Amino acid sequence: MVRRAASDDEGRRPTTIRDVAAHAGVSVATVSRILSGTYPSAPATRGKVMKAVRELDYVANANARGLAGASSRSVAIIVNSVISPHYAHVAQGVQTQAALEGKLCIIGTTGGDPERELATVQLMRQEHAECVILVGNVVADEAYRERMGEYARALAAAGSQLVLCGRPALGPDVPALVVEYDNTGGAYAITSHLLSAGHRRILFLGRRDGYTTPDARIAGYRAALADHRVPHDPDLELEGTMERHEGYRMIRERLAAGARDFTAVFAGNDLLAAGARQALREHGLRVPDEVSMAGFDDLPTAADIDLTTVHVPHEELGRTAVRLALERRQDRSGMNAHVMLGTHIIVRDSVRPLRGPSR
């Protein structure tokens, strides 16, 4: 393995991969394969090599790391949090494709803090990640675009590649790949599905002005209302973040406020739907008998609660991000390619035709 790089500056001749091979009595190629960890090897052989590495306190320096493939053996994905199943499934796609390409997958988490994001991008660059994939919902303001531009240029200069996943493009002059999915189209389709069942008073859960994902979804909701000639009522758009407990809170507050002035709920994602469903149930309102409900994402939760929702190709987003980035490293053209993946409705058992006129 490696001694702290700092000790390279203390004048000792660094141990080379050849020393390790000689000490272990195996070939340099074998040591390289075992250290790169991308090929199977006999436990006994690995044991000998690891013993030599430990006894010589081997430094995988830049050259040895090159031999060992370490300087080009990982892809990186950076997300706010991994307990969001949306992010986790994209990360799973990245891991799957990375494994197919013989790469490791490392994930950085930021908790949504730009300073931590910056530090994490640097860490991934120091690790020579072949690509750095940034995922998800953001406020796409000037500071954001400037920051992403810096990342894109800095990574490109290091022979790496920035990929924005589920985020808007930055413009033709920025060397970033973009892999998006159709938020607005999916929201339009599922809102139309509720409207076609006769619903007119449809709550939208998770409005958050300025954030790219909820903005794109509420745009689809509004467009569908307009095309069905249903007047837009801002009072039906409930604000909050995209977490389960927020869906619970929004419905609790709405029902506590008095009369039930809606017949259907379009939750901005499946987690909001799960929380909202629980609040409705505690209020004696069953889905779909008393209230129809639709979600967004098609995460496992949606299957558990029989939720009609919009399928987002999470794993395909991650796989596509890795595949595009590694292709671009072969062929430096089209460094700012832009891919949009489709979304579609999954019909389960959470929507009923409205009987009688809605209020």
100 touches its own copies (CB under 8 A): no
Name which of residues 106 to 165 contact its own copies (CB under 8 A).
Answer: 106-109, 111, 113, 115-116, 118-120, 122-123, 125-128, 143, 146, 150, 153-154, 157-159
Task: Name the E strands within the chain.
Answer: 74-79, 104-109, 132-135, 162-165, 176-181, 202-207, 237-239, 264-267, 292-294, 309-311, 338-341, 344-346
335 touches its own copies (CB under 8 A): no
**Residues 132, 110: Cα–Cα separation, whole Å:** 14
**Residues 354, 196: Cα–Cα separation, whole Å:** 9
Tokens of 240: 């909050």
Nearer to its own copies, 163 or 224 (CB): 163
Nearer to its own copies, 184 or 301 (CB): 301
Pairing between β-strand 344-346 and β-strand 132-135 as defined by DSSP bridges:
unpaired
Tokens of 92: 């799973």
**Burial of 164: CB neighbours in 10 Å, binned 0-12, 13-18, 19+:** buried
Tokens of 122: 């640097």
Binding test (CB under 8 A) with its own copies, winner from 18, 25, 29, 62: 62
Segment interacting with its own copies, rule: CB under 8 A, options 131-139, 165-173, 213-221, 298-306: 298-306
For residues 237 to 276, the per-residue mask of contacts with its own copies, x marking binding by CB under 8 A and - elsewhere, is -------x--------------------------x--x--
**Residues 269, 286: Cα–Cα separation, whole Å:** 19
Sign of CA pseudo-dihedral 229, 235, 240, 243: negative
Closest distance to its own copies from the beta carbon of 220 (Å): 25
Nearest to 325 by CA among 187, 152, 123: 152
Closest distance to its own copies from the beta carbon of 85 (Å): 7
Name which of residues 166 to 185 contact its own copies (CB under 8 A).
Answer: none
Give how many residues touch its own copies by CB under 8 A: 80
Binding test (CB under 8 A) with its own copies, winner from 22, 56, 61, 261: 61
Segment interacting with its own copies, rule: CB under 8 A, options 39-47, 161-169, 172-180, 290-298: 39-47
**Residues 323, 226: Cα–Cα separation, whole Å:** 39
Closest distance to its own copies from the beta carbon of 155 (Å): 8
Query: Which residue shows structure tokens 């992010």?
Result: 87
Closest distance to its own copies from the beta carbon of 358 (Å): 28
Binding test (CB under 8 A) with its own copies, winner from 39, 209, 239, 327: 39
Which 8-state DSSP code applies to residue 232? P
85 touches its own copies (CB under 8 A): yes
Tokens of 23: 């000490």
Binding test (CB under 8 A) with its own copies, winner from 26, 52, 70, 276: 70
Tokens of 339: 């891919």
Nearer to its own copies, 103 or 200 (CB): 103
- HSE value, Cβ hemisphere, 13 Å, CA-based, for 178: 18
Binding test (CB under 8 A) with its own copies, winner from 36, 137, 263, 308: 36
